[in-house]
A and B are shown apart, each in its own frame.
Chain A
């Protein structure tokens, strides 16, 4: 790498992260996801209470708010990550706007795009977390302080498996020159990683999909060794795909 391209400056990184966030939130599809983050916790909360009150089914040990968080962590947010990554990488490459004549290096562009996706994903998680708490408080007519604390921990630690999915999504997007193909491939791969362990249980812990509800390991009796192992795995996974993705990104030409 040349000297100029190797200089990483925080100012340009922050500027470009803000740009990428601006680009994403101006898109209708991204607005839709945020509306979903507001509406779904309320709908799921009401539905769960109705099901329980009719004795149709007993929800697992999870409370309503954890059920809502799980729905987002396992399905909605990964979809959002793959969609955003497809737009920012494959979509922009297709339109010819992936690189610009600006004082910003490719490393800064790549990392700021990934950061923008992570920031918006986390923002949605915060919205879901807050609304899930409010909904469960209103519906259960009591404030469970214990739950607020544990949900806050779950909120913070959930960023680790989500970061692994962001890294994977940015890597996948480098292979495509149009966003629909990138999005479809990302979803297919995510589905495959989630489904394969049902046929081959030994594969379960090799895929980041197994760690999406990782936060649950932080609640109750904490197995420190398991947490360290899984953190090391997720960190390595993120680093590997982020590096491989950057390697491909750096070689692109408009």
Chain B
């Protein structure tokens, strides 16, 4: 199996003492890796370190075998991401936002913008300024931005926040369809029930440390990731799972 993302010994400590330390994991092609943990656990910090938005104190990241630090452009070309508000400008329209992204991927035709906007249900609003969008619509646009370059690895930080039922369905379908096609996902969320529906693997991050990684298919019958998470938060180890 091809390893798409390899994270080795990643650590980052902020002045306030918070951060992440000694994170190790890898994700194989086509897997959907759910990163769960309470607020402030370090999920976003880890994702930023993986995508080069911040420089880790220790460790290295490899994307499709390419070292992020040594070969940044080549490594990041395979990544689509929506982390915080990093990819969206509110004074521009959805179409203008995506046009700015597609300029870096000359292999993608301009018609790709309309395709991804259609796939997330934003075609009708493509010429509206993002400042007039609801939070759910901004999330959909963030997903469209991540899909645009047809990446091998998609990294989404709390993508379900603010989504309505229709948005949740769109998001779920996109993840399922693309993972079937071999696209790999790293998704962070504190909505464990949502991740439970499509993730193949889970990592539980607490206080900046990756407590465990677990495969969904090894769960006991009737056991959900939420059960595991609650038990982990409570300091109880679940035998046979983690």
* Contact between B103 and A19, CB atoms less than 8 A apart: yes
Question: A100 an interface residue at 8 Å Cβ cutoff?
Answer: yes
* Contact between B81 and A15, CB atoms less than 8 A apart: no
* Contact between A254 and B86, CB atoms less than 8 A apart: yes
* Contact between A26 and B96, CB atoms less than 8 A apart: yes
From residue 86 to 103 of chain B, which have CB atoms closer than 8 A to chain A?
86-89, 91-92, 96, 99-101, 103
Which one of B64-72, B110-118, B206-214 is at the A interface?
B64-72
A15: nearest chain-B partner, CB-CB: B103
Count chain B residues whose beta carbon lies closer than 8 angstroms to a beta carbon of A: 36
Secondary structure at chain B's binding surface: helix, strand, loop or mixed?
loop
Secondary structure at chain A's binding surface: helix, strand, loop or mixed?
loop
Q: How far is the CA of A3 from the CA of B73 in the complex (A)?
A: 10
B48: nearest chain-A partner, CB-CB: A254
B47: nearest chain-A partner, CB-CB: A101
Question: B183 an interface residue at 8 Å Cβ cutoff?
Answer: no
A189 to chain B, nearest CB (A): 27
* Contact between A2 and B69, CB atoms less than 8 A apart: yes
Q: How far is the CA of A97 from the CA of B145 in the complex (A)?
A: 14
Q: Which of A11, A100, A102, A253 has the most C-beta atoms of chain B within 10 angstroms of its own C-beta?
A: A102
In the assembled complex, 21 residue pairs joining A and B whose CB atoms fall closer than 8 Å, in A order, are A3-B70, A4-B69, A4-B72, A4-B75, A7-B73, A9-B73, A12-B73, A16-B104, A23-B91, A96-B85, A97-B88, A97-B89, A99-B53, A101-B51, A101-B52, A101-B53, A101-B81, A103-B77, A103-B104, A105-B72, A253-B48
* 6 smallest beta-carbon distances between A and B, as pairs: A4-B72, A15-B103, A253-B54, A101-B81, A103-B73, A19-B100
Binding site for A on B (CB under 8 A): 48, 51-55, 68-77, 79-81, 83-89, 91-92, 96, 99-101, 103-104, 106, 155
